[in-house]
Chain A
């Protein structure tokens, strides 16, 4: 009969209307500034630079290789290489970024910089409340604003951070073993025969270790 569907629909809306007062689980709204949903682990928005240790400037994993700058599709990364070398978190002299800027108003959160980084130095953050009254300077993040500790990384993406740490530890162990073997070989060579050339294997060990080689993490 004509009108039956209308009555049925009116009943449905009435049920919703009354039900929304009675059962709270009908209301899906999250009252945002007061209530928040914890972000899922795969959340990502803008990149940040990871540092090890307590001092952000000394501990930056970035070695200013500029791969991310070249790969960035919207070209939002700007890097100036340092002219000198500074010891990184592991005490090895490295080139460091004299400037590392990301314009997050340009960034499109594609995560390509993260995927191309060979040093696990750049990762995606989950911070999304980034609004500012200064739309040019306020959205152009420099090295200091981008630097965030490894603990922060562990907090926002625990699984990925654990994987990264394991990988770095493995690489470090490999490098350590290689260095140790080289040292042992050198020592053996130095001890047994009257030394043909003890220095030769030593430089071969250094390039194999990407960033962490000797020093322990705190």
Chain B
């Protein structure tokens, strides 16, 4: 029974496909999986948007939307209808083709990342050996779509936003990769399924998630920071910084194209969260052995939604960074720590089991963190500003 609930979608898919001729079965199964992903994650996106608006409201001591339906639960529907019926404006001097392609490309690319994520047991769409590599390759091409949007709009705010986005995303791509490399190193595989399997074991009912090791914890924090920056999420939302750049790279977008950007952004966030869950939080595995009866896909979605709530919480708390702070943080703090974390993981591996490696590895990371914070992130003190008139 538990097994059935866990595998319900797999079994359902196989049953549906069994009506088709044999040569059609494999492609049909994949197509079915694609449809499921394309339906599920936008639905989660709608829930997230509602959660975000309500949650941010509560954090600012407001009610949030509460007019459409009971407690405003139909607000995403109203938003959707609004963006569908709005006029779709293409600026006169914009490059119409690229302007149209940018949001489409973003959404396509973002959904492609889900192909390698193990959403549940036996529920990976494409069981790729180099799945993590594929995810990062695909994830990096969102930059292209952002720059397409900014460039084709022929608007200085769009272009500035796009340049910021590209600078930021390329800078944080490196720590993102580096922080997930620890997991690949320790598992010895780039396959997301193998990584989840390695974490899906229990001692005394507690899981072997990588986050419960010093290097895994540090890696998770660094991954979260880099992922937040990678998805242009507050406090790293400089590319759309509405206080200085109208709306950044999608200033010139309206109507459904804007909605596509919005969708792409959130689905991308969920993708990064899913990858983070796969790498550090044991993917679809239950947090306690006794909770193993809950279907695995439910755990995965719960972890994604948990990450989204964390995103919202951080957004409600932190102000936006300045461009120089952003770059300093990436290159002077996050990147050195990820490199050190690689060394730490190696140390952990070669010190063998025991309490000693816990102490040494934690101490090393903690020490490095404090020292880096002291030295690298030192606040520069400027004297009083003086002006000199030109002769």
Contact = CB atoms under 8 A, between A and B. Distances in A.
Interface of A: 1-3, 6, 9-10, 12-14, 16-17, 19-21, 26-29, 31
Contacts of A13: 59, 313, 316-317
Given A1-B373, A2-B377, A16 B60 contact: yes
Given A2-B369, A6-B318, A9-B317, 17 more contacts: A1-B373, A2-B373, A10-B317, A12-B317, A13-B59, A13-B313, A13-B316, A14-B313, A16-B60, A17-B58, A19-B61, A20-B58, A20-B62, A27-B63, A28-B62, A29-B62, A29-B63
Nearest to A8: B317
Nearest to B315: A13
Nearest to A4: B373
Interface string B293-321: 00000000000000000000110111000
Contacts of B60: 16
B61 A28 contact: yes
B55 interface: yes
B373 A16 contact: no
Interface residues of B, number: 17
B85 interface: no
Given A13-B317, A17-B55, A27 B369 contact: no
Instruction: Give the 7 A-B residue pairs with the shortest CB-CB distance, closest first.
Output: A2-B373, A9-B317, A13-B59, A13-B317, A20-B58, A17-B58, A26-B61
B61 A16 contact: yes
A20 B317 contact: no
Interface string B328-342: 000000000000000
Nearest to B369: A2
Contacts of B61: 16, 19-20, 26-28
A131 to B, nearest CB: 18
A67 B373 CA distance: 71
A20 to B, nearest CB: 5
B370 interface: yes
B81 to A, nearest CB: 22
A204 B377 CA distance: 88
A30 to B, nearest CB: 10
Contact of A16 (B58, B314, B318): B58
A17 B62 CA distance: 9
A13 to B, nearest CB: 4
Which among A3, A9, A13, A21 has the highest number of chain B CB atoms within 10 Å?
Answer: A13
Contacts of B318: 6, 9
A26 B60 CA distance: 9
Contacts of A17: 55, 58-59, 316
A145 to B, nearest CB: 31
A16 B370 contact: no
Contacts of A20: 58-59, 61-62
25 contacts: A1-B370, A2-B369, A2-B372, A2-B373, A3-B373, A6-B318, A9-B317, A9-B318, A10-B313, A12-B317, A13-B316, A14-B313, A16-B59, A16-B61, A17-B59, A17-B316, A19-B61, A20-B59, A20-B61, A20-B62, A21-B58, A26-B61, A27-B63, A28-B62, A31-B63
Contact of A10 (B314, B370, B372, B377): B314
Contacts of B314: 10
Interface in B49-78: 55, 58-63
Interface in B358-391: 369-370, 372-373, 377
B112 to A, nearest CB: 33
Nearest to A33: B67
Interface in B165-214: none
Contacts of B317: 6, 9-10, 12-13
A14 to B, nearest CB: 7
A33 to B, nearest CB: 10
Contacts of B373: 1-3
A54 to B, nearest CB: 42
B142 to A, nearest CB: 26
A50 B60 CA distance: 44
